[in-house]
């Protein structure tokens, strides 16, 4: 989920125009569109405290709101809600047969306001003919065996369900009967079983060097005027937004959303003047970090990545986006979307410093819709995806990819003026792009 203040801070800290490498742009054609309404809710799981029959109490600027529908948003919607929102897909994997594993974001965007949201992932099945999305299965995360190394929100409750105050889950990979999940608060890597019960939680310490964000439970918060703790180098909302998996399921590739802080330069990390994101390796058999670190080059310092999946061998797809929202072809958006791309990379195509080559890209602001499949967003045969956070991409077959937004319900307004965004899923025919060399 987007945290606009950080994007502004990064831009202020260092404004760079982007990489010098030229990449080929390829066309994309819309072949399917489906959407799950933003106002889609699920009941709290059996065994959860009654407290979780309501969510969004802490989304007001100050204090809490127990009375339903008292905290009104710009979208006209109001919180708290009388159940749990399913909103905010922040990771996706294609399971075949038009079924997808999707991860729900931490709740309402921050550690402070999401303690009454129980973390979950879902298996969904879009009907591309009707545009509807069916929810086949919902799995909640819990820690009954006390594997989480710090006190959780439900520490003393029987169910020990995990909440958006414990983790900010942003990426997911199925491995055998279990799942690996990337988090932003630690940043942590979490392994859960098929029922969502935590098996282990791994700290980020490649090469024995801890990397922590300000939301890490073990981060030492400095007193006013004191220097930043040495290992707090990951920006808030800068953890594992993407995490790919090798074909043999033995290696995870967690990718940070934003550059880490370079204390030597006193600025976010760059290589040869280009802002870069760190990509690590993690062994799924041993839980040990690998020795190799790769770097994904951003086109601009205020960009972020949205998702990362491998699509065959060492080739992968990475979403890179700006922090804007709204269709620039319409007059209502104050800060309309400009940069929403999906890049093709290859883990083996990197320079001597480990910086990955961007082979090609598609522009999500310029999608062809000759058959008029999209119910909204198509003008003169061109469809776009103008959401602030686009956090889902995976290959469906040899010519098709699926893309989806994180709708940040009920805050983001990217598709239609004054209306909270829905969860939109699209299929794109990008055969030439997938075969780019």
Residue 21 banded pLDDT, cuts 50, 70, 90: low
Measured CA to CA, the distance from residue 166 to residue 157 in angstroms comes to 15
Q: Is the model's pLDDT at 18 over the cut of 90?
A: no
pLDDT at 11: 42
Burial of 329 (0-12, 13-18, 19+ CB in 10 A): middle
C-alpha separations of 429 from 174, 311, 337 in Å: 25, 15, 22
| pTM of the predicted protein model | 0.93
Region for 53 from its dihedrals, namely left if φ exceeds 0, alpha if ψ lies in -120 to 50, beta otherwise: alpha
- Cβ–Cβ < 8 Å for 38, 414: no
For the cut 90, the answer to whether the pLDDT of residue 383 exceeds it is yes
The mean of the pLDDT values for the chain is 93
The DSSP call for residue 1 is -
| pLDDT interval class at 16 (50, 70, 90) | very low
What distance in Å separates the CA atoms of residue 102 and residue 106, rounded to the nearest whole number? 13
Angstrom distance (rounded) from CA 216 to CA 206: 16
d(CA 183, CA 168): 5
Q: What percent of the chain has pLDDT over 90?
A: 89
Q: Distance between CA 6 and CA 370 in Å, rounded?
A: 38
Which tokens hold the place of 102?
A: 């999707």
**Nearest alpha-carbon partner for 319 in 249, 248, 387:** 387
Q: What is the mean pLDDT of residues 372-399?
A: 98
CB 354 within 8 A of CB 334: no
Neighbouring C-alpha atoms within 13 Å toward the C-beta of 99 = 8
Task: List C-alpha distances in Å: 405 to 34, 92, 151, 222, 234.
Answer: 12, 10, 32, 36, 24
Please tell me the predicted confidence (pLDDT) of residue 79.
96
User: Is residue 213 within 8 Å of 221, Cβ to Cβ?
Assistant: no
Maximum distance among all Cα pairs of the chain, rounded to whole angstroms: 60
Residue 160 pLDDT exceeds 60: yes
Q: Which band of pLDDT confidence, cut at 50, 70 and 90, is reported for residue 363?
A: very high
- CA gyration radius, the chain: 20
- The 10s digit of each residue's pLDDT in 322-359 is 999 999 999 999 999 999 999 999 999 999 999 999 99
Name the residue ranges covered by the structural domains of the chain: 4-434
- Of 285, 287, 149, 290, give the one whose Cα is nearest residue 206: 290
d(CA 363, CA 67): 43
Q: What's the rounded Cα separation, in Å, for the pair 40 and 121?
A: 14
Q: What is the DSSP string of 12-47?
A: HH----------EEE--EEEEEEEE-SS-EEPPPTT
The pLDDT value given to residue 4: 42
Q: Determine which helix (DSSP H) or strand (DSSP E) holds 178, and give its type and residue range.
A: strand 178-183
CA distances from 377 to 330, 385, 386 (A): 10, 8, 9
Residue 99 CA to its chain's centroid (Å): 19
Phi, psi dihedral angles at 8 (to 5 degrees): -65, -40
Q: What is the pLDDT of residue 309?
A: 98
């Amino acid at each position: 989920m987007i945290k606009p203040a950080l994007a502004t801070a990064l831009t202020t800290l260092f404004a760079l125009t982007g990489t010098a490498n030229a990449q080929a742009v390829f066309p994309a054609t819309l072949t399917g569109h489906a959407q799950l309404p933003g106002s889609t809710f699920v009941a709290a799981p059996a065994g959860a405290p009654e407290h979780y029959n309501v969510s969004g109490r802490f989304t007001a600027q100050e204090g809490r709101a127990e009375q339903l529908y008292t905290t009104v948003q710009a979208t006209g919607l109001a919180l708290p809600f009388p159940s749990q929102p399913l909103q905010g897909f922040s990771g996706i994997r294609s399971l075949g047969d038009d079924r997808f594993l999707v991860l729900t974001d931490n709740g309402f965007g921050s550690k402070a306001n999401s303690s009454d949201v129980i973390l979950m992932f879902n298996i969904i099945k879009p009907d591309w003919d009707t545009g509807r999305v069916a929810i086949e299965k919902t799995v909640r995360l819990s820690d009954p065996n006390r594997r989480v190394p710090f006190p959780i929100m439900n520490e003393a409750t029987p169910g020990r369900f995990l909440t958006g105050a414990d983790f900010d889950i942003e990426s997911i990979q199925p491995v055998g009967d279990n799942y690996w999940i990337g988090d932003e608060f630690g940043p942590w890597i979490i392994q859960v079983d098929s029922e969502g019960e935590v098996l282990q939680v791994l700290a980020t310490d490649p090469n024995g060097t801890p990397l922590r964000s300000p939301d890490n439970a073990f981060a030492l918060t400095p007193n006013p005027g004191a220097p930043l703790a040495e290992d707090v180098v990951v920006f808030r909302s800068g953890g594992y937004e993407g995490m790919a998996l090798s074909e043999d399921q033995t290696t995870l590739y967690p990718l940070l959303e934003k550059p880490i802080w370079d204390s030597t330069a006193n600025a976010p990390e760059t290589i040869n003047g280009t802002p870069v994101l760190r990509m690590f390796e993690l062994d799924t058999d041993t839980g040990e970090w690998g020795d190799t670190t790769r770097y994904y080059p951003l086109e601009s310092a205020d960009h972020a990545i949205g998702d990362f999946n491998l699509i065959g061998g060492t080739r992968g797809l990475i979403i890179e986006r700006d922090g804007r929202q709204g269709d620039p072809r319409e007059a209502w958006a104050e800060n309309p979307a400009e940069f929403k791309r999906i890049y093709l990379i290859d883990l083996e195509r990197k320079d001597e410093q480990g910086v990955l080559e961007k082979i090609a890209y598609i522009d999500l602001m310029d999608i062809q819709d000759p058959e008029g499949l999209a119910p909204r967003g198509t003008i003169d045969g061109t469809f776009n995806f103008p959401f602030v956070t686009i956090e889902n991409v995976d290959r469906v077959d040899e010519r098709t990819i699926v893309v989806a937004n994180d709708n940040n319900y009920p805050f983001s307004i990217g598709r239609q003026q004054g209306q909270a965004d829905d969860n939109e899923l699209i299929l794109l025919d990008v055969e030439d792009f997938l075969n780019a060399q």
